[in-house]
């Protein structure tokens, strides 16, 4: 019988857009195999976003880390194999060939679960990773692969307004820090 204190957070890489399906599959498979003692929680970190559809505000949950599912588990032996064999699972984050998956560090877990201590929040606000006029590359979303220029920075929301050339026309996009990288 595995004790809760043995459980650590791991990140499972999933096919982007199928995070919730993968979560369901993992839960179903673990229950089917009778391994509930080994897995405490399967989590898809999401954020609430308000979208306007047909003039109405619609609350939607958006996956915060596309392509990643977090699990609090006691990983070993068959649990690893069962999870890896699930439809839509690419593998574990940080695993070495033939080795066991690497658990997240406590600080990473806290950051992902939003329990960030105030100190790191303060230091986070100081460092804005981008500057206006800088060229960036979009690494996520429908404009993946396009380069653009930073026009505005919204520190609070951690978003950028980026001017991207699409079909020869400059188009403004609002992207989160996570969706772009420096060129």
Domain CATH code at residue 155: 2.30.30.30
At a CB cut-off of 8 Å and minimum separation 6, what does 32 contact? none
Domain count for the chain, please give it: 2
Q: Which domain holds residue 45?
A: 4-120
149 and 81 inside one domain: no
Per-position pLDDT tens, the chain of length 183: 444 457 899 999 999 889 999 999 999 999 999 988 888 889 887 777 777 777 777 777 778 788 999 999 988 778 888 899 999 999 888 777 667 788 888 888 877 776 544 444 443 444 567 889 999 999 988 889 999 999 998 877 888 999 998 888 888 999 988 888 888
108 and 66 inside one domain: yes
The conformational region for residue 168 under phi > 0 = left, psi -120 to 50 = alpha, else beta, is: left
84 and 133 inside one domain: no
Bridge partner list, 59: 50
31 and 55 inside one domain: yes
């Amino acid at each position: 019988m595995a004790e809760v204190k043995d459980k650590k957070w791991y990140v499972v890489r999933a096919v982007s857009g199928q995070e919730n399906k993968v979560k369901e599959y993992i839960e179903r498979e673990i229950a089917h195999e009778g391994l509930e003692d080994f897995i405490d929680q399967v989590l898809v970190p999401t954020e609430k976003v308000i979208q306007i559809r047909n003039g109405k505000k619609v609350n939607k949950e958006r996956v915060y880390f596309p392509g990643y599912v977090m699990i609090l588990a006691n990983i070993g032996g068959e649990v690893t194999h069962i999870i890896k064999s699930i439809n839509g699972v690419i593998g574990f984050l940080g695993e070495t060939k033939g080795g066991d998956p690497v658990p997240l560090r406590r600080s990473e877990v806290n950051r992902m679960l939003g329990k960030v201590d105030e100190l790191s929040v303060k230091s986070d606000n100081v460092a804005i990773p981008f500057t206006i006029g800088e060229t960036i590359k979009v690494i996520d979303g429908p404009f993946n692969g396009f380069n653009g220029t930073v026009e505005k920075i919204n520190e609070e929301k951690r978003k950028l307004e980026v001017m991207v050339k699409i079909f020869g026309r400059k188009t403004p996009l609002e992207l989160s820090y996570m969706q772009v990288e420096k060129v």
